[in-house]
Amino acid sequence: MIRISNIEKTYYGKNESVCALKDISLDIKKSEFVSFIGPSGCGKTTLLKICAGLLDPTEGKIDFDYPNYKIGIVFQNHVLLPWRTVKQNVALSTELSNTNNNIEEMIKLVGLEDFIGSYPFELSGGMKQRVSIARALVSHPSILFMDEPFGSIDELMRDNLNMDLLKIWRKLKPTIFFVTHSISEAVLLSDKIVILPKRPGKIKKILEINLPRPRTISIKETQKFQEYIKCIRKNID
Amino acid sequence: MYKKKYRLKDFVILVLTFFLFIGTWQLVDFLFNIRKIILPNPLEIFLVIVNNFPYLLDHATITVIESSLGFLLGITLAIITGIIFTYSKLLKKSFYPYAIAFKAVPVIALAPLLIMWLGSGMISKIIMAAIICYFPVLVGTVKGFSVVIQDYKDLFKSFSASKWKIFYKLKIPTSLPYIFPSLKISATFAVVGATIAEFTGASKGIGYIIVNSSYYLETTMMFAAIIMISIVGLLLFYLIDYIEKKIVFWEAND
């Protein structure tokens, strides 16, 4: 379990200070898929970075219930090293932490076994993002942080990636901390959706999504799915 | 396939313009009968190069050795100081502005000093070439090591990478596309530096031939030497260009 308690983040400028996050408290269960949704500038990326240990909060703390937990991050931009092949990119985490994991198996899991020796410039946007997912997962992290990972990918490709992400999650069972600004993507994927409206970055609502699993794309046409979407839209403005 | 055809066409155009230029030169010389001492014609220059080739090659070799050693020395020092500057803000603040200011000094003016201090042998030429190569590469290195993007830093941090691993697995490759263009500039500068120092005082090298021929009004030999030294500069430039395309292959494809 991850327990986020009273997180606050203020950026101090020369003349004014900006409060990006305030009173954020939340529990995330093990292997839960939690999405954070809100307009640009609502502080969702800041919260992700604080939870991933990349930023220090001004107030509050985060407790992890895992012994020696590992994390993986997928950024909005693929952040692949252009001088490395697919395989070498996925191997990065094992090189940095001197562990030995099955790189090829992970590449197969994201469906890129035919591109194992290709360079990033030879891949499409969706494929690059698959590589960065494989790279984040290769050390079998307990928590996977995803910061709008499919934000720059077209709708059709996005559906495919979402389905594959669910498949991978079912198999490896990491806790997923997912930041997005697509409402339907959040409903399609999540167990729980946290709604963060614009300034001052307080949690407005936490919504449990009780749709059956395993989910398929066709779930988007059900009435319940549409109701969740309506509910989120109402709370986001 | 199409691309290859296009390139061949480009090459043919380049060769044609070259011959058009040479032809016009030869024709003007023929029509107006310009004195050889003012402007020799291409055929005369060509014959001088062919007849004195071993002599020219001997001297060109000296210049190549001076420029190459100076280049290697200059860029090594530049890359080392560039890296030190990126890791020590204090040193960068204290010395980098001077380095930038020194860049504006016409280093060519230092040639007589270097000859006075180091003699008219190869050392003074190597140092001259090194000084002239140093500054562009220093600026390129400082730039290259300061461009690392936040997401990449975060990525390495999320894998708990050590500072050393961030340095050689991230910062070095990221800096290469910024360093190589400065190396190409310096490669041609190195030849300029060595030649200038040879003008000032030398008994060997292409610069020596140019100055020496000017004393005897051997204009044709001067042209021959100028052509030799231009070829040396071009070869060094394209050598670095070739290495760049091999090492920084991802830039050309992006």
pLDDT digits (tens, 9 = 90+) for B176-224: 999 999 999 999 999 999 999 999 988 899 999 999 999 999 999 999 9
Chain-centroid distance of CA A28 in Å reads: 13
CA distances from B189 to B135, B152, B182, B225 (A): 11, 35, 10, 17
Tell me how close the Cα of B155 comes to any Cα of chain A, in angstroms.
7
- Does A71 lie at the interface with B, CB-CB under 8 angstroms? yes
Q: CA B126 to CA B124: how far, in whole Å?
A: 6
> Which residues in chain B are contacts of A52 at CB distance < 8 A?
154, 158
Is the CB of B151 less than 8 angstroms away from the CB of A75?
Answer: yes
> Which residues in chain B are contacts of A75 at CB distance < 8 A?
151, 154-155
Q: CA A52 to CA B132: how far, in whole Å?
A: 47
pLDDT at res. B2:
47
Buried b (16+ CB within 10 A) or exposed e, B199-214: bbbbebbbbbbbbbbe
pTM for this structure? 0.84
pLDDT at res. B246:
92
Quick one: DSSP state of residue B171?
I
Residue B23 maps to a domain = no
> Which residues in chain B are contacts of A69 at CB distance < 8 A?
none
Residue A25 main-chain phi, psi, to 5 deg: -130, 135
pLDDT at res. A133:
93
CB A127 within 8 A of CB A160: no
At B197 the three-state DSSP class reads helix
Residue B25 maps to a domain = no
pLDDT digits (tens, 9 = 90+) for B44-93: 999 999 999 999 999 999 999 999 999 999 999 999 999 999 989 999 99
pLDDT at res. A169:
94
pLDDT band at B5 (very low <50, low <70, confident <90, very high): low
- Does A118 lie at the interface with B, CB-CB under 8 angstroms? no
Q: CA A42 to CA A233: how far, in whole Å?
A: 15
Residue B27 maps to a domain = no
> Which residues in chain B are contacts of A97 at CB distance < 8 A?
159-160
∠ CA B160-B164-B169 to the nearest 5 degrees? 80
* A135, pLDDT greater than 90: yes
pLDDT digits (tens, 9 = 90+) for A55-80: 999 999 888 887 778 889 999 999 99
Nearest CA in chain A to B171: A81
Residue B44 maps to a domain = no
Beta-carbon contacts of A196 under 8 Å, excluding residues fewer than 6 positions away, are: A36, A37, A38, A42, A43, A44, A47, A202, A203, A204
A72, A96, A121 ranked by CB distance to B161: nearest: A96
Nearest CA in chain A to B251: A82
Residue B229: CA count within 13 A, CB half-sphere: 27
- Does A219 lie at the interface with B, CB-CB under 8 angstroms? no
Q: CA B182 to CA B190: how far, in whole Å?
A: 12
Query: Rounded mean pLDDT of chain A?
Result: 89
Domain of B237: which CATH number?
Answer: 1.10.3720.10
Residue B96 maps to a domain = yes
Residue B232 maps to a domain = yes
Is the CB of A121 less than 8 angstroms away from the CB of B253?
Answer: yes
Centre a 10 Å sphere on the Cβ of residue A194 and count the other Cβ atoms it contains.
25
> Which residues in chain B are contacts of A119 at CB distance < 8 A?
250, 253
CB A29 within 8 A of CB A1: yes
Residue A17 main-chain phi, psi, to 5 deg: -115, 145
How many A/B residue pairs have CB atoms within 8 Å? 53
> Which residues in chain B are contacts of A96 at CB distance < 8 A?
156, 159-162, 165, 169
Residue from A45, A96, A119 to probe the interface with B (highest B Cβ count within 10 Å):
A96
Residue B200 maps to a domain = yes
pLDDT digits (tens, 9 = 90+) for B106-164: 888 889 999 999 988 999 999 999 999 999 999 999 999 998 788 999 999 888 888 99
Q: Give the domain extent around B184.
A: 52-251
Interval A125-137 mean pLDDT: 92
Q: CA A193 to CA A182: how far, in whole Å?
A: 12
Buried b (16+ CB within 10 A) or exposed e, A75-108: bbbbbbbbbbbbbbbbbbbbebbeeebebeebbe
pLDDT at res. B214:
92
Of the candidates B73, B136, B115, the residue with the CA atom closest to the CA atom of residue B200: B115
| One-letter identity of residue B194 | A
Nearest CA in chain B to A85: B250
Q: CA B134 to CA B182: how far, in whole Å?
A: 10
Beta bridge partners of A33: A176
Structure tokens belonging to residue B94: 């204290």
Is the CB of A82 less than 8 angstroms away from the CB of B250?
Answer: yes
- Pick from A94-108, B25-39, B165-179 the range whose average pLDDT is largest: B165-179
pLDDT digits (tens, 9 = 90+) for A150-204: 988 888 889 999 999 999 999 999 999 999 989 999 999 999 999 988 777 788 8
Nearest CA in chain B to A91: B159
Tell me how close the Cα of A24 comes to any Cα of chain B, in angstroms.
22
B96: left (phi over 0), alpha (psi -120 to 50) or beta: alpha
Nearest CA in chain A to B249: A83
Q: CA B40 to CA B241: how far, in whole Å?
A: 33
Tell me how close the Cα of B135 comes to any Cα of chain A, in angstroms.
27
Interface residues from chain B to A (CB-CB < 8 Å): 151-152, 154-162, 165, 169-170, 173, 249-251, 253-254
- Does A68 lie at the interface with B, CB-CB under 8 angstroms? no
pLDDT at res. B1:
39
B165, B250, B251 ranked by CB distance to A96: nearest: B165
Interval B20-34 mean pLDDT: 91
Instruction: Return residues 75-104 of A near B (CB < 8 Å).
Output: 75, 77, 79, 81-83, 92-93, 95-97
For the CA atoms of chain A, what is the radius of gyration? Answer: 18
Residue B46 maps to a domain = no
Interval A102-128 mean pLDDT: 92
CB A209 within 8 A of CB A191: yes
pLDDT band at A38 (very low <50, low <70, confident <90, very high): confident
pLDDT band at A129 (very low <50, low <70, confident <90, very high): very high
Nearest CA in chain B to A53: B158
Q: CA A72 to CA A174: how far, in whole Å?
A: 10
Beta-carbon contacts of A103 under 8 Å, excluding residues fewer than 6 positions away, are: A87, A90, A91, A94, A138
Tell me how close the Cα of A93 comes to any Cα of chain B, in angstroms.
6
Q: How many structural domains compose chain B? A: 1
Nearest CA in chain B to A52: B158
Of the candidates A128, A178, A172, the residue with the CA atom closest to the CA atom of residue A153: A128
